[in-house]
Chains A and B, each alone.
Chain A
Amino acid sequence: MQKNYNHEQIEEVIQVLNDPKNRLLSFMTKYDDNKEMLDLYDELRNFKEAHLNLIQKDRPNLPLQWQKLNYKIGNSHKKKISWMIAASVILLISLTFVLQFETLFSPQQLVVDNSPIEKGEAKAILITSSGKVVELDENKDWVLKEKQGVKIVGDTKNLIHYNKDPISKDKSAKMAYNTLKIPRFAEYQIVLSDGTKVWLNSETELKYPIQFEGKQRVVELIGEAYFDVEKDASKPFFVKTKGIETRVLGTEFNVSAYPNEELNITLLEGKVQLAGKALSHKLILKPGENANRKRGATEMLVSEVDVKKITAWRDGYLYFEKERLEDILIKLQRWYDFKVFFQNPVVKDYEFRMRADKASDFNEIVNRLEATGRIQVDIKAKAVLISDVKR
């Protein structure tokens, strides 16, 4: 990078940026082996790109472009489905109408909130090293200054980064920790200072230093998270949870450690070692293996699993593989705002297999559970009553 700007050079590059059709190619030919000028072009082009982004100049209509793309890549299949959805929506609407019509004229009329069960709105909370509690606003980009010249950058896609200013004079050596709390109905993604990516599921808490000092990288987890750990053989990465420490050397794995639920640690890539007070001996997981500890159990059992199912939540799906209805509903409650009541306790142990898009309506999920013909689901406001069809 050259040290100083020269007016003539700047003007020349700006002209190229403003009229690339006529000038870019001759510029590139002219300065083919002049790195200084090519770098200046790239630098100024970056400024222009950032400015365009900033003011969102001539912003494209995304849904329209998506439609165009779909048209191009051919989409007869999807069209059919959307017609089917439209048809079923109409059917649902008419059903609702009939039902409401009935209530309207029934003698004992109850005041019921008939608004559908929605995916709740929730804000994540960040607790800084000084103990300040910050509600993260998902509607705008934000930056927070931390100790040691660290900046926390967040955006509207629920993603947080940690960046360090290399010339910061704040050399306070003490480890400073942040805690990120994800409430119900929310999800977050965070990139730690070492480049490790962590996807955090609903109702999850992660405590981590804003910079990893010393010989180890240690984070603490309650809830569920997927880790893509940046390789650094000299600094092993540890996830502490429920008396188990997962030791990592650059790998991808999922940890599900909610209070009062079974513990699952699933390895996708690389190698992890489990140890800790809660374990009698160390365990090593191979890719595709899952270590499971049932509620109340003391030992961890290792078995092979389909990792896609375990990590489905991160890809936007709810996935249940022959799980107890009660467990399924606990998980659904992290995503949808409702309370569940069981008319017949026996249904709690019914097992279901289901894969649903997190974007789907709660009704859609209920319909699929009912379609099994085993349970009946009644929804009144935010209360979901489940009864056994056989009784």
Chain B
Amino acid sequence: MKKGLINKAILEELFNTYYNSLYYYAYSFLNDTEISKDIVNDVFEYIWVKRNTIDISYSIKSLLYSMVKNKAINHIRHQEVKKKHHHFEISKSEIAEDDYQEHDVLMKKLMQAIEELPPKAGLVFKMCFIENLSYKEIAAELGVSVNTVKTHITKSLKRLREDFKHELVLFFFSAENK
């Protein structure tokens, strides 16, 4: 990562490098495109406003991801609070800055694994996770039983978990080495 403070050129580079990934990160929490964009924009605005106090040699990547996560969860929290008049405490683990250095590597691996799913399983997976259809709706659309849909999902998740596990092992391994 680069040294020193953020200028406009660096901001633009960070924007071009991370915008999409951050957007999909927010999207995976919120399932909402507009709020996801707003949150990512807010985060970039924040680092610009604070540009003189943020040293980007300290992982800016982790900072960006952590802020997106916190903002996404806070957004939902505020909505829920308005609705139910509940009081919630922010747990520490949500504020703590996680390490996102390996995040893109993990995503890349998972993307590849998803791509390699058998066609039918991949389709069911997409209908379920991306198109937000229920098991019942998927079964009806594909003309199969709900149980078949369940089996597809379980099998896909098992396969993905295999890859995911390796990634975790790798991650801990590298963390120990530091």
| Chain A count of residues within 8 A CB distance of the other chain | 65
Question: B106: shortest Cβ distance to chain A, in Å?
Answer: 7
- Contact between chains at A53 and B107 (CB < 8 Å): yes
Contacts of B71 in A (CB 8 A): none
Task: Tell me the complex Cα distance, A276–B105, Å.
Answer: 37
- Contact between chains at A167 and B129 (CB < 8 Å): no
- Contact between chains at A163 and B170 (CB < 8 Å): yes
Interface secondary structure of B, over-half rule: helix
Per-residue CB proximity of B122-150 to A under 8 Å, as 1/0? 00011011101001000000000000001
Question: B61: shortest Cβ distance to chain A, in Å?
Answer: 13
The answer, among A11, A58, A141, for a CB contact under 8 Å with B135, is: A11
- Contact between chains at B178 and A53 (CB < 8 Å): no
- Contact between chains at B76 and A24 (CB < 8 Å): yes
- Contact between chains at B31 and A19 (CB < 8 Å): yes
For the side of the interface on B, what is the size category?
35 or more
**A7, A52, A141, A232: most-surrounded residue (chain B CB, <10 A):** A52
Task: Tell me the complex Cα distance, A54–B45, Å.
Answer: 27
Task: Tell me the complex Cα distance, A57–B131, Å.
Answer: 10
Contacts of A316 in B (CB 8 A): 9, 13
B96 located at the interface, meaning its Cβ lies under 8 Å from any Cβ of chain A in the complex? no
Given the known inter-chain contacts A53-B107, A68-B41, A163-B170, please indicate yes or no for A60 contacting B31, CB distance below 8 A.
Answer: no
Contacts of A24 in B (CB 8 A): 29, 73, 76
- Contact between chains at A46 and B45 (CB < 8 Å): no
Question: A131: shortest Cβ distance to chain B, in Å?
Answer: 26
A73 located at the interface, meaning its Cβ lies under 8 Å from any Cβ of chain B in the complex? yes
- Contact between chains at A155 and B79 (CB < 8 Å): no
Given the known inter-chain contacts A53-B21, A65-B19, A161-B105, please indicate yes or no for A46 contacting B29, CB distance below 8 A.
Answer: no
The answer, among A17, A59, A157, A161, for a CB contact under 8 Å with B129, is: A17
- Contact between chains at B45 and A72 (CB < 8 Å): yes
Contacts of B158 in A (CB 8 A): 5
Question: B12: shortest Cβ distance to chain A, in Å?
Answer: 7
Per-residue CB proximity of A45-59 to B under 8 Å, as 1/0? 111111111111111
Contacts of A66 in B (CB 8 A): 12, 15-16
Given the known inter-chain contacts A5-B158, A60-B37, A72-B45, please indicate yes or no for A51 contacting B29, CB distance below 8 A.
Answer: no
Task: Tell me the complex Cα distance, A29–B175, Å.
Answer: 30
The answer, among A54, A60, A69, for a CB contact under 8 Å with B44, is: A69
Per-residue CB proximity of B156-173 to A under 8 Å, as 1/0? 011011001110111001
The answer, among B4, B105, B128, B170, for a CB contact under 8 Å with A166, is: B170
A357 located at the interface, meaning its Cβ lies under 8 Å from any Cβ of chain B in the complex? yes
- Contact between chains at B12 and A47 (CB < 8 Å): no
- Contact between chains at B108 and A59 (CB < 8 Å): no
Contacts of B165 in A (CB 8 A): 1
Given the known inter-chain contacts A7-B150, A7-B154, A69-B45, please indicate yes or no for A45 contacting B20, CB distance below 8 A.
Answer: no
- Contact between chains at B21 and A232 (CB < 8 Å): no
Contacts of A329 in B (CB 8 A): none
A62 located at the interface, meaning its Cβ lies under 8 Å from any Cβ of chain B in the complex? yes
Task: Tell me the complex Cα distance, A153–B108, Å.
Answer: 9
Task: Tell me the complex Cα distance, A72–B27, Å.
Answer: 22
- Contact between chains at B160 and A47 (CB < 8 Å): yes
- Contact between chains at A10 and B115 (CB < 8 Å): no
Closest 9 CB pairs of A and B: A50-B110, A49-B28, A18-B132, A25-B80, A52-B24, A54-B111, A58-B33, A48-B28, A48-B129
In addition to A10-B157, A316-B9, 12 A-B residue pairs with Cβ atoms within 8 Å of each other are A7-B154, A11-B135, A14-B129, A19-B31, A21-B30, A21-B79, A43-B164, A49-B24, A65-B41, A164-B170, A195-B178, A230-B177
- Chain B residues with a Cβ under 8 A of chain A: 2-4, 8-10, 12-13, 15-17, 19-21, 23-25, 27-33, 37, 40-41, 44-45, 48-49, 73, 76-77, 79-80, 88, 91, 105-115, 125-126, 128-130, 132, 135, 150, 153-154, 157-158, 160-161, 164-166, 168-170, 173-174, 177-178
